[in-house]
Chain A
Amino acid sequence: MRFETFAFLPPLSPQQVEAQANHILTQGHLPTIEFAENPSSADFYWRSWPIQPGRINSLTGKPEPLTAAHLTNQLEACARRHPYAFIRLSAYDPKTRQTTLSFITKTPQEGQ
């Protein structure tokens, strides 16, 4: 089973995933976490995992901007909740209306 971008690389380490997440955020693109248990190439829409907003800043009362570490924590949380699912991280650029990146961060963890 190949899932498009980065499918021909060895599985990404947590540090590598974090680096890509960091790249997405520095580009100003909007990250999305999606998961599906038995996906096929015909499935465009996977279930989305809501990314919790960052910590509330006590001075401004607004959530702090997302960080790469926060995104990887969210990916971890999704993987714990759905251990038999493929999980992918996508980025969307509203300016060009294009998905600028979409890759699998976790494959099903057998035996867990």
Chain B
Amino acid sequence: MDTNLASRLKTLIQQRGLTAAGLARQAGLSVASLSRILSGQTNPSFQSVSRIAAALGVGLESLSPAPTQATAPLAENTVRAVYTLENTDHSTQEAGQLMLQAALGSWSHSWMHPYVAEGIEAPTLASASQSGSHRQQVQLAFPHQLVEGGSVASLLSVVTSALSGTGARLLDVTVPPTLIRTFSGPAFGLRGLRDTFNKHGRPLLACTIRPMHGLSPRLYGRAAFEALIGGVDITVDPALLHSIPSNPWRERFRFVAEAAAAASRETNEFKTHAVNITAPTMEDMLERATWAKELELAMVMVDTAAIGWSAVQSLGAFCAKNELILCALGTRSLNGSMLSEQLQAKLLRICGADAVSTGSPLRGNVSNRRYVTGVLSALRDDSLPAQPEAGHHLPQPFEGLTAAIPAVGGGHNPWQFPRLIDAIGDNALIQCGGAVMSHPWGGQAGATACRTAIEALVQARGEGHNLNVEGRSILLKAAKYSPDLKQALDTFQEGSFLFGVVHTLSRPTEGSILPGTNNPSPTITPFRRPEPTNED
């Protein structure tokens, strides 16, 4: 099989006896842009590729590259790690030796060496290769005995030992079956969350509450309530809202718990709110989680990048014991530390996070979509093949570890749902706080619009419609019976992403007077740079 989109397309065109111009006409593309794709000069947008796939009558899978095997077969029971050395002048061999010596630094020879028991193995160099100009990729193998069972901290500590002094970056880690069986993974996970909340056959809808600062806890709870009765399944605290004097955590939890309970009674559906329990100490976080549990909230969320891996594991264990669903939601969850998103997603699943935020597969071009798909598969799949273009440099068997549910965020509005649902499938949570909270008729109408759009699309897909191609007409048909959706489609623009805020004031320029505000002092004009003085 060819790995290249262009050559794959060429084969398909030949097989069907088409011409490039004919295919371009059928797919609604210009001949020039198709020929650019065929000659490999461009990274086509996801929409063009899906049009071509629809015109050829094949699924998108047949245009995406087949999984490639890793260079070396995965030896049983070794932890494999792939590093990249960028901007390096080292040859491949030198790079391999550099990384190996860094990993072996703690194995330096000592006078006690002769007394060391037999059978203790040191890290070895598995492979090294050039991955670009001035870029080397090195793979090391660590015996699994070096890693403490059930400890992500130990795992990361061992594999990052090779980073000291080398300036390399860790790309991917394979946790061998012996080690992965020592982690319990999410307590609920994808299937558990669906069964617990009785939500089947469609992506779940989540909404982050805005504005996050300046509301009293009671009004904040009201915002959650409106979204929930409108059809949102889960409302979520913003990742940056921890506890502030105007919205202290204890009171906020009480009001959102009341909002979720009231919305459940009102709609006869399961509703819940994920409260942000990120706090300075582990004890504080456990106290907040306990309070959430006492209020009968089903979910807690943390900023996993900020609190650290061991804290995530502690919370995972606590949540499993206390029947809480642990969420790693918020835009920062996979962007916070120096690890790749795919690797963090894998580690979060291992740590026991039930829901994990990911980026949007719709943004950017085809390679970005593959990148996000790599994150989704790290959260959901039973085993990962090595697929460098999706961010998986090494294969990873999960050995039956429970799947986590990806929460796909990124400022979507109902116009994007057809392509989004087609890309992520049903087993995901669509986070679209922006489209819900900024609907001109309020949060309830916004929620109804999003929920109606999702259900109309799922129904049409069941009837055999292609969401990528017919999404627009399906939405417009649904807008005929749902005024909320009609208004949302009129308000939000097709193809625009919004991050929670639509109606922003234009940014004041220097010297402009803001309406409705008094100048703090007659001598100071707001938004004006101080006059240069002679001292400067």
Residues of A within 8 A of B (CB): 1-10, 12, 16, 19-20, 23, 40-41, 44, 90-91, 96-103
Stretch at the interface among B80-88, B298-306, B332-340, B458-466: B458-466
How close is B312's CB to chain A, nearest CB, in angstroms?
26
> Is B291 interfacial (CB-CB < 8 Å)?
no
Contact A2–B191 (Cβ < 8 Å): no
How close is A45's CB to chain B, nearest CB, in angstroms?
11
B 451-486 to A, binary, CB cutoff 8 A, 1 in contact else 0: 110011011001110000000000000100110000
Contact A4–B200 (Cβ < 8 Å): yes
For B268, list chain A residues within 8 Å (CB).
Answer: 1-3, 40-41
Contact A100–B201 (Cβ < 8 Å): yes
26 A–B contacts, CB within 8 A, in A order: A1-B268, A2-B267, A5-B200, A6-B455, A6-B459, A7-B231, A7-B269, A7-B455, A8-B455, A9-B459, A9-B478, A10-B481, A20-B462, A23-B463, A40-B268, A41-B198, A41-B269, A41-B270, A44-B198, A98-B194, A99-B201, A100-B200, A100-B201, A100-B426, A102-B200, A102-B201
> Is B195 interfacial (CB-CB < 8 Å)?
yes
**Within the assembled complex, what's the spacing in Å between the Cα atoms of A95 and B64?**
25
Contact B463–A5 (Cβ < 8 Å): no
**Within the assembled complex, what's the spacing in Å between the Cα atoms of A16 and B190?**
28
Q: Which residue of A lies closest to B264 (CB)?
A: A41
- Size category, B interface: 20 to 34
Q: Which residue of B lies closest to A92 (CB)?
A: B200
For A91, list chain B residues within 8 Å (CB).
Answer: 201
For B448, list chain A residues within 8 Å (CB).
Answer: 8
> Is B293 interfacial (CB-CB < 8 Å)?
no
For A98, list chain B residues within 8 Å (CB).
Answer: 190-191, 194, 200, 427
Contact B462–A23 (Cβ < 8 Å): yes
**Within the assembled complex, what's the spacing in Å between the Cα atoms of A90 and B452?**
20
- Grouping DSSP codes into helix (H, G, I), strand (E, B) and loop, the A interface class, with mixed when no group exceeds half, is loop
Contact B462–A5 (Cβ < 8 Å): no
How close is A2's CB to chain B, nearest CB, in angstroms?
5
Q: Which residue of A lies closest to B449 (CB)?
A: A8
For B8, list chain A residues within 8 Å (CB).
Answer: none
Interface residues of B in 262-291 (CB under 8 A from A): 264, 267-270
Contact A8–B231 (Cβ < 8 Å): yes
Q: A3-B268, A5-B202, A8-B448 are in contact. Are A99 and B194 (CB under 8 A)?
A: yes
Q: A16-B463, A19-B463, A90-B200 are in contact. Are A99 and B195 (CB under 8 A)?
A: yes
For B202, list chain A residues within 8 Å (CB).
Answer: 5
For B463, list chain A residues within 8 Å (CB).
Answer: 16, 19-20, 23
For B36, list chain A residues within 8 Å (CB).
Answer: none
**Within the assembled complex, what's the spacing in Å between the Cα atoms of A7 and B198?**
13
For B25, list chain A residues within 8 Å (CB).
Answer: none
> Is B213 interfacial (CB-CB < 8 Å)?
no
For A10, list chain B residues within 8 Å (CB).
Answer: 481
**Within the assembled complex, what's the spacing in Å between the Cα atoms of A61 and B409?**
53
How close is B199's CB to chain A, nearest CB, in angstroms?
6
**Within the assembled complex, what's the spacing in Å between the Cα atoms of A4 and B201?**
10
**Within the assembled complex, what's the spacing in Å between the Cα atoms of A8 and B267?**
12
Contact A101–B200 (Cβ < 8 Å): yes
Q: Which residue of A lies closest to B427 (CB)?
A: A98
B 417-444 to A, binary, CB cutoff 8 A, 1 in contact else 0: 0000000001100000000000000000
8 new A-B contacts, CB < 8 A, other than A98-B194, A98-B427, A102-B198, are: A2-B267, A5-B200, A6-B458, A8-B451, A9-B459, A41-B270, A96-B191, A99-B201
Q: Which residue of B lies closest to A26 (CB)?
A: B464
Contact B455–A5 (Cβ < 8 Å): yes
How close is A27's CB to chain B, nearest CB, in angstroms?
9
Q: Which residue of A lies closest to B447 (CB)?
A: A8
**Within the assembled complex, what's the spacing in Å between the Cα atoms of A6 and B267?**
14
How close is B70's CB to chain A, nearest CB, in angstroms?
27
Q: Which residue of B lies closest to A1 (CB)?
A: B268
**Within the assembled complex, what's the spacing in Å between the Cα atoms of A9 and B475?**
12
For A20, list chain B residues within 8 Å (CB).
Answer: 459, 462-463
Contact A5–B458 (Cβ < 8 Å): yes
Q: Which residue of A lies closest to B194 (CB)?
A: A98
Contact A4–B269 (Cβ < 8 Å): yes
Q: Which residue of A lies closest to B452 (CB)?
A: A8
How close is B66's CB to chain A, nearest CB, in angstroms?
22
Q: Which residue of A lies closest to B463 (CB)?
A: A19
Query: What 4 pairs between A and B have smallest CB-CB spacing?
Result: A101-B201, A23-B462, A102-B200, A19-B463
**Within the assembled complex, what's the spacing in Å between the Cα atoms of A101 and B458?**
10
For B452, list chain A residues within 8 Å (CB).
Answer: 8-9
How close is A72's CB to chain B, nearest CB, in angstroms?
14
Q: Which residue of B lies closest to A44 (CB)?
A: B198
For A102, list chain B residues within 8 Å (CB).
Answer: 198, 200-201
How close is B481's CB to chain A, nearest CB, in angstroms?
5
How close is B264's CB to chain A, nearest CB, in angstroms?
6
For A16, list chain B residues within 8 Å (CB).
Answer: 459, 463
For B198, list chain A residues within 8 Å (CB).
Answer: 4, 41, 44, 102
For B427, list chain A residues within 8 Å (CB).
Answer: 98
Contact A103–B201 (Cβ < 8 Å): yes
Contact B191–A97 (Cβ < 8 Å): yes
